[in-house]
Amino acid sequence: MTAPRYWFVSDTHFDHARVIEYCRRPFANVDEMNETLITNWNATVGARDFVYLLGDVALTKADRALRFVTRLKGRKHLVFGNHDKPNRKEYERSGQFEWCKDLAEIKIPDPRFTQSDPLRITLCHFPLISWNQSGRGAWHLHGHCHGTLPTDVRSLRLDVGVDVHGYAPVSLERVAEIMATRAFKPVDHHGAD
């Protein structure tokens, strides 16, 4: 049995027809978008894999939103986004997520090395300019911007929204490849010593 993998995703916006127009998503209608997002997710994520969904699950009532979530593979964790507020309590009680938080700091194995300290990653729906341990190499993954925030090669920050990564979750290995092209430059006193 293979070891579980780690995946990150944001801004699925299930049932949000207007996001197709706003973000120029290549779908004829909301049903096509919903089904493509589910198909792409399940084509990459395994049943035992860890998935961190960084908000804006759906723009519909909780019972319908959770019908989409139940179709998604993996051990799901939710960091709330601005569009999740109406469904927050239902998401927390649903049993579909191992945990639900507003912001999370996780430690996971570094895929680049067999023997190393774990990666520290701050997860938030919104992009941060400074986060815990940023000066010591911690990463920050977010959504919310739908790929419109300029890439900053001086920051270990990455938008993991579906609009940026082929309408599918992005693997930890891919995130590590992207982060390897960047070098942290402090924006405040953290990391300046």
Please give the pLDDT value at position 68: 98
Residue 122 lies in a domain: yes
Residue 186 lies in a domain: no
Residue 130 lies in a domain: yes
Least confident of 83-92, 161-170, 182-191: 182-191
Please report, as a single letter, which amino acid is at residue 115. Answer: Q
CATH number for the domain spanning 115: value is: 3.60.21.10
Least confident of 10-24, 26-40, 145-159: 145-159
Please give the pLDDT value at position 97: 98
Q: What is the pLDDT of residues 90-118, one digit of tens each?
A: 999 999 999 999 999 999 988 776 667 89
Please give the pLDDT value at position 192: 54
Please report, as a single letter, which amino acid is at residue 55. Answer: G
Residue 79 lies in a domain: yes
Q: What is the pLDDT of residues 123-151, one digit of tens each?
A: 999 999 999 999 889 999 999 999 999 98
Percent of the chain whose predicted confidence (pLDDT) is above 70: 97
Separation CA 89–CA 189 (nearest Å): 38
**What does 102-151 look like in DSSP terms, one character per residue?**
SEEEEEE--TT-SSSPPEEEEEESS--SS-TTGGGT-EEEE-SSTT-SPP
Separation CA 52–CA 123 (nearest Å): 8
Separation CA 113–CA 167 (nearest Å): 28
* Contacts of 18 by beta carbon, 8 Å cutoff, 6+ apart: none
Residue 193 has pLDDT above 60, yes or no: no
Which residues face 161 on adjacent strands? Answer: 10
Please give the pLDDT value at position 153: 87
Instruction: Tell me the pTM.
Output: 0.95
Which residues face 139 on adjacent strands? Answer: 121
Residue 162 has pLDDT above 90, yes or no: yes
Residue 177 has pLDDT above 50, yes or no: yes
Domain count, the chain: 1
Helices then strands (H, E): number in the chain?
5, 9
Residue 31 lies in a domain: yes
Residue 185 lies in a domain: no
Please give the pLDDT value at position 90: 98
Residue 165 lies in a domain: yes
Please state whether beta strands 119-124 and 103-108 pair in parallel, antiparallel, or not at all (unpaired).
antiparallel
Residue 189 lies in a domain: no
Provide the residue range defining the domain that includes 49: 6-179
